[in-house]
Structure 1
Amino acid sequence: MGLFSRDNDSGDDSDSAKSSFMEERGFIASAIVVGAVLICLVVWFMLGGRSDNPTANPSQTPSTSAPTGQPTEEESTEPPVATPTALPTSTRTTPPPPNSSTGGCHNKNPNQAIPRLAAPPLVTWQFEGAMLIPLQAASGPATTSPNGVRSCFAHSPTGAVLAAMVLLGQLQNQAVGIAALKARVVPGPGRDAAIAASQESAKTPKTANGEVQFAAFKVLDYPPNATRAIVQVVADLNNKAYGAMPVTLRWYKGDWYVELQEDGTLNGSVEPDILSSLSGYVRFSGSS
């Protein structure tokens, strides 16, 4: 079962409460092809369906009395959503060159320490569309193709973190998203499904949505001499909440590539984890 999948053993009340929680915050995106990677990305990168006008979707005041002979409904124990805070998380430095023969996947001796407490140092944040992505001379990306796709990351935990964030950032940029899917995802049914859904979605004009920026990460799995890694990436959803999504990467042809499920999703689910805090995560953001 994916990290974002619902618990099939939970009761109807639990499912209903969770649905209400998600709908209230506008994380349910409509008109998206089920099973495509864009489902995860739209839920994550966009706040579709939410109105900032408090009168557009007035809330109903629930009755405080229960029907005679019926048990009173217990108060929800859903943890409060964390309120994002703008904190500097990495040292800003001179941007690395778009193409380098020494950094990223060319780095012969990358640092193998897993970043668990502090953000990667000497990172520059640059806009990819509307989203800031991290760049580091040592760990990548060290190559930028003529069509703008970034690649060549160090064979290290930090390289995997940067590869996950950079690809997610490029996927939300319609100018380079489909090219990034074709070039930076492991070939297979998942990539084919994601490309097909992305091409279909591109036919619909993109609407304005709330700002979404990276906020933190956690390396969930990175064994010695890893050929596969899992990185949990956290986004600040329009300063309203934090959403976390696991990204699986494979060391393939000398670089980190994202690996999708056969249905074209990142994790077989349409919902990110909504975090109550960033405890246990490494804060890593270009916005302040």
Structure 2
Amino acid sequence: MSESTPSGTEQNPFTLPGFIISAALVLALIAAVAVIFFLPKDNSTAQPAPAAPADTSAPAAPATSAAAAGKSICGLPSSTETALGAAPRSTWELVGKMAAPTDPTTIGPGTTDEDGFRSCFAHSPTGALYSAMNVAALGSTGSPQLNAKLADQLLVPGMGRDAAIKEAAGMVAAGGSDTSAQVKGFAIKSYTPSEANIDLAFETSKGAFVHTVLSMRWMDGDWKVKPADDGVTFSGVAQLSDLSGFIAWSGV
């Protein structure tokens, strides 16, 4: 599977401080594709993005009784599974323009607020996958209010979360766009009961495939995203020539 890569003098848009939370997901995906398309191609083979390094900026908060029991904070069941060999049978809802999976009684989101904020997922590989995808969908709405809650409630405490909260506080509502992106596949790169790395493949409305990794941690009875110290939520963004290596999974 071939991949075009930027030259050594170019920066991937997802590494820039401005792309902090997934509010910029769609625009960043398009920007990443645009940069890659117009740079010389090489013959390197695209490899799944490596697992993100452990966040050492702050220790995990003490587990609540629900977390200690392996149950989510809203009472969803846990699972002893450590992998997914096939796509889960999912019901999808549009969150903004992006489809997100939902199974409120078993996988999550177990809690959906009046403003549309979605949280509380099962302690399982499927729960981690659903959580990652719902984070991406929430952010793609461009809502400053939802992104502020996302930064405050769904990011692991530390320097990265502090940076994301600061960035979210300065956000303005995103304008409308004719461009959108939808998930088309996933790969769980690693999973333990406390950590998971979820690789999501998207197709933009321009027909390009890109993928990115969300690094997740189980804490306080829910899955939370581990951002980089500068607040960047996504890592390892790269264009894909096809979806080889990903399990097909899509709501649109």
Q: CA deviation at 1:230?
A: 0.5
Q: CA deviation at 1:133?
A: 0.5
Q: CA deviation at 1:260?
A: 0.7
Task: Say if 1:46 and 1:178 are closer, same or farther in 2 by CA, change over 3 A.
Answer: farther
Instruction: Please point out which of 183, 189, 209 is paired with 1:242.
Output: 209
Q: CA deviation at 1:115?
A: 1.4
Partner of 1:208: 177
2:102 is equivalent to residue 135 of structure 1: yes
> What pairs with 1:70-85 in structure 2 (closer than 5 Å)?
76-78=41-43
Instruction: Please point out which of 7, 12, 35 is paired with 1:15.
Output: 7
Task: Give the distance between the partners of 1:216 and 1:104, measured in 2 at CA.
Answer: 28
Q: Deviations for 1:35-59, whole angstroms, at most 9, x for unmatched residues?
A: 6335962554555997xxxxxxxx9
Partner of 2:49: none
Partner of 2:21: 37
Sequence identity (%): 27
Task: Give the distance between the partners of 2:18 and 2:120, measured in 1 at CA.
Answer: 31
Task: Say if 1:283 and 1:190 are closer, same or farther in 2 by CA, change over 3 A.
Answer: same
Task: Give the distance between the partners of 1:244 and 1:48, measured in 2 at CA.
Answer: 10
Partner of 2:239: 274
Are the aligned partners of 2:22 and 2:135 in contact in 1 as well (CA < 8 Å)?
A: no
Are the aligned partners of 2:22 and 2:136 in contact in 1 as well (CA < 8 Å)?
A: no
Task: Give the distance between the partners of 2:132 and 2:228, measured in 1 at CA.
Answer: 15
2:151 is equivalent to residue 167 of structure 1: no
Are the aligned partners of 2:93 and 2:99 in contact in 1 as well (CA < 8 Å)?
A: yes
Are the aligned partners of 1:47 and 1:237 in contact in 2 as well (CA < 8 Å)?
A: no
SS at match of 1:201: coil
Q: For structure 2, which runs of at least 5 residues remain unmatched after alignment?
A: 47-70
Counterpart residue identity of residue 239, structure 2: I
Task: Give the distance between the partners of 1:105 and 1:111, measured in 2 at CA.
Answer: 19
> What pairs with 1:1-288 in structure 2 (closer than 5 Å)?
15=7, 33-34=17-18, 36-37=20-21, 41-46=25-30, 76-78=41-43, 106-110=75-79, 112-116=81-85, 118-121=86-89, 123-136=90-103, 137-175=105-143, 176-202=146-172, 205-223=174-192, 226-267=193-234, 272-287=237-252
Q: CA deviation at 1:272?
A: 1.5
TM-score (structure 2 length as normaliser) = 0.72
Task: Give the distance between the partners of 1:237 and 1:38, measured in 2 at CA.
Answer: 15
Are the aligned partners of 2:17 and 2:230 in contact in 1 as well (CA < 8 Å)?
A: no
Task: Give the distance between the partners of 1:156 and 1:49, measured in 2 at CA.
Answer: 32
Counterpart residue identity of residue 77, structure 2: K
Alignment RMSD (CA, Å): 3.4
Extract structure 1 runs of 4+ deviating beyond 3 A. Answer: 32-35, 37-40, 42-50, 75-81, 102-105
Are the aligned partners of 1:131 and 1:212 in contact in 2 as well (CA < 8 Å)?
A: yes
TM-score (structure 1 length as normaliser) = 0.64
SS at match of 1:134: strand
Are the aligned partners of 1:79 and 1:276 in contact in 2 as well (CA < 8 Å)?
A: no
Q: For structure 1, which runs of at least 5 residues remain unmatched after alignment?
A: 1-5, 7-13, 51-58, 60-74, 82-101
Task: Say if 1:152 and 1:49 are closer, same or farther in 2 by CA, change over 3 A.
Answer: closer
Task: Give the distance between the partners of 2:124 and 2:13, measured in 1 at CA.
Answer: 35
Counterpart residue identity of residue 272, structure 1: V
